[in-house]
């Protein structure tokens, strides 16, 4: 189902935003990055993945939608790895 509310997020968008965010708003990077990591941690499933019922690709509305099954796994993991790597360099804690 397509996202219906503006304030909803999902693992793909949160992970992708955290992955790119320090480059476009460095003055707010730490607080937003940590908030995104908290969001991911709160929603991580027992098997280490994240659920994402929303479709992640394009398609034809009410005809078909595409789902990239690894997006909600890959992008959160990249964001978490970047946070862990940055922890020693910039004092961020993951």
Could you tell me the CA-to-CA distances from 57 to 35, 60, 61, 68 in Å, in that order? Answer: 25, 10, 11, 7
| pLDDT recorded at residue 10 | 66
For residue 25, what are the domain limits? Answer: 11-90
pLDDT band at 2 (very low <50, low <70, confident <90, very high): very low
Please report whether residue 1 resides in a domain: no
Please report whether residue 4 resides in a domain: no
Please report whether residue 6 resides in a domain: no
Please report whether residue 5 resides in a domain: no
Please report whether residue 3 resides in a domain: no
Span of 2-11, 28-37, 39-48, 65-74 with lowest mean pLDDT? 2-11
Query: What total of structural domains would you count in the chain?
Result: 1
Residue pLDDT, tens place only, 16-47: 665 555 555 666 667 777 787 888 888 899 99
Please report whether residue 55 resides in a domain: yes
CA dihedral 86, 89, 90, 92 (to 10 degrees): 40
């Amino acid at each position: 189902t397509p996202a219906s509310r503006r304030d909803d997020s999902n693992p793909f968008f949160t992970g992708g935003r955290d992955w790119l965010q320090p480059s476009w708003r460095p003055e707010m990077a730490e607080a937003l990055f940590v908030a995104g990591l908290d969001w991911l941690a709160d929603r991580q499933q027992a098997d280490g993945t994240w659920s994402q019922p929303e479709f992640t690709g394009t398609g034809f509305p009410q005809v078909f939608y595409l789902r990239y099954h690894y997006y909600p796994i890959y992008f959160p993991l990249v964001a978490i790895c970047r946070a862990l790597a940055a922890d020693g360099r910039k004092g961020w804690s993951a």
